[in-house]
Amino acid sequence: GDKPESTKVVAPDGACEEAIAVFKDKFKSAPTIVVAAPGRVNMIGEHTDYQEGFVFPIALDRKCVIALAPTSKGYRIYSREVKDTLQVDTLPEQPQDGDVPWWSYVVGAMRIYCDAVKKPLPEGFDAVVLTTVPLGGGLSSSAAVEVASATAMEVAVGVSMAPMEKAVCCQKAEHEWAKMPCGLMDQAISCCGRAKHAMLLDCRSKQPSLVPMEADDIDVLIIDSAVRHALVDGAYSTRKNQCQKAVEIVQKKHPKVTMLRDVTLAMLEDAKAAGEIDDETFRRASHVVAENDRCLQFADKLKAKDWKAAGTLMYESHASLRDNFEVSTPEIDRIVELAREQPGAYGARITGGGFGGCVVCLVDKTKSDAVKDTVLAEYSKFLETVKASAEAGLKVDEPRAFLAEPSDGAHIYKT
């Protein structure tokens, strides 16, 4: 396999320098350990990971950086984004009941990593956490902060693990400490991403395969809808449970099926004809089954540089997430429609778990600036009408767009 065996050590860059500067300002000394882990954008293969299916993410050049210095006693962890410090003699041993505080992601990943390599946590440290991944924007700032935290411990205790195993530790942290029952995609790409590549991941075998994204004639454009809907907590686990329910229905006739990964559309059609599955569960499951297929086809089309066919699969993925899985929003749908009208846009879809966040577009490199400017201008007009009739709890920011630069997974800075 063409996969990294250990965490890369790289020369300091701007993000590293920034973390060192914040650390010096905060703690009046220099950090000895500086590490980073990226956010991601998923090209296709959405809501498939927790059913052992296929995903196709890219690690971004936006990342979470942690600068840390061991001390003899006590812990101070400062987040630049939240502007808060966790200052304690002993790190919390258990996740907190109720709301998830920001430091859960950090402490959870650190504890689980150290447990997994059978090392005690350092007896004390000061740390700065900062990120260039927007928080809660669908680009997985959560996996970035978890993987950076685990990587900081990897260096601090001096024991490494295979990147995919580290991803599994971080997924466990997200489950147990952030109470989010996610699949493996975000942590896997944040650990195993590679510059100039996307990653086709089989979430059953956990075998990543790197696909070159170096093409000089396409760009991956990310457009942030800048809208956060309230009251979507629980929608993710509802979807996940509906998928499991579909599996249980199909299992009655096909006992070898353990996940939607094993299910075909014909099996779902049979169950529907026999009146065994309700319409909503059918639509949820058929999304996942077809999406796995689209994801594999997408990888082939990309390798063949058939941008048009790859893009068509993205539009199909979007329609299915909108109509069958029902995780899109009117704002996201509008951005996808606008993208589709632009010359030079091959495909566009919602990316990430849904209910807001970002759209990912595959565009002709020579047209990407024009696509970006036109879609942003038109979408901003649309947002004015959204704001005018805003439902309670709707948070609207400034919409933004930027190009995804396929980047390396977690790395350690040479300090």
Give the per-residue contact string, 39-68, with ligand ADP (x = CB under 6 A; - = no).
-------------------------x----
The footprint of ligand ADP on residues 312-371 (CB under 6 A) is none
d(CA 226, CA 169): 30
3-state secondary structure of 33: strand
Between 227 and 313, CB nearer to Mg ion: 227
Cβ 37 to Mg ion shortest distance, Å: 13
| Catalytic (active site) residue 186 | yes
Starting at the edge strand found earlier in the chain, the sheet holding 197-202 runs: 54-55, 197-202, 207-212
Residue 366: which residues within 8 A CB-CB, separation 6 or more? 217, 344
C-alpha closest to that of 39 among 95, 81, 101: 81
Reduced to 3 states (helix: H, G, I; strand: E, B; else coil), residue 98 is: coil
Of 78-86, 245-253, 275-283, 362-370, the window that binds ligand ADP (rule: CB under 6 A) is: 78-86
Cβ proximity to ligand ADP: between 225 and 286 the closer is 225
> In the bound complex, what is the minimum distance in angstroms from residue 103's beta carbon to ligand ADP?
7
CB of 130 closer than 8 Å to CB of 81: yes
Instruction: Please identify which residue in 9, 10, 21, 82 interacts with ligand ADP, judged by CB under 6 A.
Output: 82
Question: What does the CA dihedral 43, 44, 50, 51 come to, rounded to 10 degrees?
Answer: -160
Number of residues located near Mg ion, criterion CB under 5 A: 2
* Site mask for Mg ion (CB under 5 A), range 128-167, x = bound: ------------x-x-------------------------
CA distances from 162 to 8, 52, 250, 300 (A): 12, 20, 35, 27
Q: How many residues interact with ligand ADP (rule CB under 6 A)?
A: 17
Binding part of the chain for ligand ADP, among 139-147, 240-248, 262-270, 292-300 by CB under 6 A, reads 139-147
Report strand pairing: 8-10 vs 54-55: unpaired
Site for Mg ion in 327-386 (CB under 5 A): none
Which is closer to ligand ADP, CB of 259 or CB of 396?
396
- The active-site residue, picked from 84, 89, 97, 186, is 186
Distance CA 93, CA 371 (A): 49
Residue 260 is classified by DSSP as G
* Contact pick of 34, 44, 145, 299 for ligand ADP (by CB under 6 A): 145
Q: Note the residues at the interface with ligand ADP (CB under 6 A).
A: 64, 79, 81-82, 102, 105, 129-131, 135-138, 140-142, 145
